[in-house]
Amino acid sequence: MAVLDQIDQSDQIDEPARGHRPRDGGRRRTTGRPPWMGTPSPTTRALKVVVIAMIGVVMLYPFLYVIMFSFADAGSVTSGQLIPTSFSTVAYESIFAGGVVTRSLLVTAGVTLVGTTLSLFFTAMLAYGLTRTRDVPFAKGAMVLVLCTMFFGAGIIPNYLLIKQLGLLDSYWALILPGLISAFNMIVMRNFFMELPQELLESSRIDGASEFRIFFSIVLPLSKAVLAVIALFYAVGYWNSFFNALLYINDTTKWPIQLVLNQYVVQGSALSDLQAPDRPAPPAQTVQMAIVVVATIPILLVYPFAQRFFTKGVLTGAIKG
């Protein structure tokens, strides 16, 4: 009987561990999970939706405001309406007929296309070369020099004197060559290359493939994600850059769109230079808004095509482990 009593007592002790209802008034056992990992209540979810919606409105309203007033009719602008009630394309017709904005867009598009292509090519070449630290002479020293450029810079005056001595003033190359290779982008791409299967590269070398053949036939096709991300980084940088043009470009016919935006919207220069002389002048506010839209929309249209590569390209290239 004593043995049976001990068995009954052990069963009572092990009852909660076996999944039976605890004898504590029916209270739930704690799972040990953090509060933020649990299922939120309906009130909490509704509050989150409201907060996210408010943040979205705050972020989107300025952009929608610029677009609406770029199409606003003269009557809506002069009456001080918060939301225009009548719309017109006079501002866009005026700036495109003037020729200044059209020419600056072509300049910016050309610089962005050529600069992104060259930057992507040379960054990939440098990143791949620095992955071969055992085979490439002075690879570690070159890596240190590249890293130093992230922390130390010559300054505006030495850079200007260098561009002047190279004869690049009033040249489109002055907008491309100073920022041809970004140290940060190179490091991201190098880490991505180091995550590629080395067995595949070694087998190609055993088969007699040269490093150029491996780079163009194996490494680049396997690196589409990081190439797309870095290309977008470079494209956004070239498209939005105006400081180099402000320093090195004196010929107004070679101004990029961002310098035109800075000159006529931020600095407040006479907008009559942007408009055709035979057309009626629209309100200055609509012209400024139209320039902002023209300078912003093209690069925004590129983002959705590269968005799906962001997670894989950035995380794989930025984290080495």
Q: Dihedrals φ, ψ of 44, to 5°?
A: -65, -40
Q: What are the tens digits of pLDDT across the range 254-282?
A: 999 998 888 887 776 666 666 666 666 77
Q: What are the tens digits of pLDDT across the range 216-260?
A: 888 988 888 889 889 988 999 999 888 899 999 988 889 999 988
How many whole angstroms separate alpha carbon 182 and alpha carbon 262?
Answer: 25
Query: So what's the pLDDT on residue 280?
Result: 66
* Domains of the chain and any CATH numbers: 110-274+293-318 (1.10.3720.10)
CB atoms within 10 A of CB 271: 21
CB atoms within 10 A of CB 236: 16
What CA–CA distances, in Å, run from 303 to 66, 291, 308? Answer: 20, 20, 9
How many whole angstroms separate alpha carbon 137 and alpha carbon 19?
Answer: 66
How many whole angstroms separate alpha carbon 200 and alpha carbon 210?
Answer: 13
Long-range pairs of 168-174 with CB within 8 A, sequence gap ≥ 24: 168/248, 169/248, 169/249, 169/250, 170/248, 170/249, 170/250, 170/251, 170/254, 171/248, 172/107, 172/110, 172/111, 172/114, 172/254, 174/244, 174/248, 174/249
* DSSP 3-state of 87: strand
Instruction: Give the model's confidence band at 3: pLDDT under 50 very low, under 70 low, under 90 confident, else very high.
Output: very low
Q: Enter the pTM of the model.
A: 0.76
CB atoms within 10 A of CB 123: 25
Mean pLDDT of 6-31: 49
